[in-house]
Amino acid sequence: ESLINRIAAGEIIHRPASALKELLENCLDAGATSIRVTVKDGGMKLLQIQDNGCGIRRADLPILAERFTTSKLSTFSDLSRITTYGFRGEALASMSHVAHLSVVTKTKTETCAWKAHYLDGVLVEPKPGQTAEPKPCAGNDGTTIIIEDLFYNTPTRLSALRSASEEYSRILDVITKYAVHNPKVSFSCKKAGSPSPDLSTPSSSEIPQAIRLLYGHSIAKDLLNATFGSKKKPEEDEDMEEEESEVQSSRESWTAEAHFTNANYQSKKMIFLLFINHRLVESSRMKRALEAVYSGVLPKGASPFIYLSLQINPRDVDVNVHPTKKEVHFLNEDGITDQIADTLQRSLASQSH
Ligand code: ADP
Ligand code: MG
């Protein structure tokens, strides 16, 4: 049974960066405004993430790493935050099957922090002979998750990893993207033992400022932006343009915010940040469509920077997509993609005149 769990966990957690993505989302779900990441050996030896969010109640610790343990179902009506493909309570459980998982956490009402260790889904004793229960300790409000020796028992996963420095750059890439998307949250990331962080953002910024800080001035100075979408408010029917009411008839409701470079900016490789309902995802369909828009304005071989945040009714996001299958599908994908491509095209065209 534990082998099967291990294989299943390896399907969810592919590499240090995918573990980190899950952990980051947990911090953000917990309302953290500060997220500190510490990494050793590209995350294979140590992946530690400390937040100042709501913390986990001591009473919830014994079953924390059991599959389908989630505290997020009660907030299912909060459509702006929730996606059908998150919130499965599988991330921590999976990590406990392929790594050593420790948690230090404190809620505001608790007088001390609690520390707990997990192995194969269950709370274990910190040292042989001790009882398996959370131990009181010193700590600030919030949660620190410590993942050690990732894939120590999963040699095939371990051997599929690249060098520590390559895994580390994937980690930095994930944090960078979440930092752009969450400019009000302060992020930092450093290697264990290193005095200065490799990435550090302030806690109150706006998306364009975050892009400048993280991706550089050359991108930021050539940035355009657009906010758009289609709403299905019946009372707005009369004011709708024909094009929009057509979308309405497919019972679609979505909004998008985009920040994208103009024709002056040319990069060798396309940088594309896509968030759907606040989750970092990939859509090669969307990427190709937007790439095609730029092929009309950029010289051959030149690529843009595009940040796109899409909010769709969670009902319309493909529920069959596994949480870590980054490639996402949603209802009226073609229609939405076309409209976004169209908006970018017009924005680029009007800018060049
Ligand atoms: P999910 O996020 O789908 O609920 P996870 O396995 O990622 O499942 O996390 C399980 C539960 O552990 C969460 O529902 C939450 O209650 C708690 N949790 C995990 N990380 C944190 C954190 N950083 N702060 C507060 N609670 C957390
Ligand atoms: Mg989670």
Question: Would you list the domain boundaries of the chain?
Answer: 2-205, 209-351
Six token digits for residue 183: 């400019």
Say how far apart CA 136 and CA 120 lie, in whole Å. Answer: 22
Label residue 339 left, alpha or beta by phi (over 0 means left) and psi (-120 to 50 means alpha): alpha
- Substitution site in 22, 26, 47, 88 for ligand 1 pocket (most atoms within 8 Å of beta carbon): 26
Give burial (CB, 10 Å; 0-12/13-18/19+) of 310. buried
Q: Is 53 in the pocket of ligand 1 (CB under 6 A)?
A: yes
Interaxial angle between packed helices 207-215 and 164-181, expressed in degrees from 0 to 180 and rounded to the nearest 10: 160
Q: Which atom of ligand 1 is nearest to the CA of 60?
A: 16
Distance in Å, CA 80 to ligand 2 centroid: 16
Give burial (CB, 10 Å; 0-12/13-18/19+) of 130. exposed
Q: Is 69 in the pocket of ligand 1 (CB under 6 A)?
A: yes
Kindly report the protein residue whose alpha carbon is nearest to atom 20 of ligand 1: 26
CATH 3.40.190.290 fits 209-351, yes or no: no
Distance in Å, CA 323 to ligand 2 centroid: 10
Cα four-point dihedral sign 77, 79, 82, 88: positive
Q: Which atom of ligand 1 is nearest to the CA of 25?
A: 2
Q: Is the ipTM of this complex over 0.90?
A: yes
Give burial (CB, 10 Å; 0-12/13-18/19+) of 14. middle
Dihedral over alpha carbons 310, 179, 319, 61 (to 10 degrees): -150
- Substitution site in 12, 13, 71, 87 for ligand 1 pocket (most atoms within 8 Å of beta carbon): 71
Six token digits for residue 172: 């930095």
Establish whether domains 2-205 and 209-351 are of one fold. no
The CATH-assigned architecture of domain 2-205 is 2-Layer Sandwich (3.30)
pLDDT by residue, tens only, the chain of 353 residues: 678 888 777 777 889 999 999 999 999 999 999 999 999 999 999 999 999 999 999 999 999 998 877 777 555 444 444 444 445 678 999 999 999 999 999 999 999 999 999 999 999 987 777 778 999 999 999 999 999 999 999 999 999 999 999 999 999 999 999 999 999 999 999 999 999 999 999 998 999 999 999 999 889 888 999 998 876 554 444 444 444 444 444 456 899 999 999 999 999 999 999 998 888 888 889 999 999 999 989 999 999 999 999 998 877 776 455 555 567 778 788 899 999 999 999 999 987 65
Q: Identify the H or E element spanning 105.
A: strand 100-106
Q: What is the pTM of this model?
A: 0.89
- Strand segments, DSSP code E, in 201-250 are 223-230
Six token digits for residue 182: 């969450």
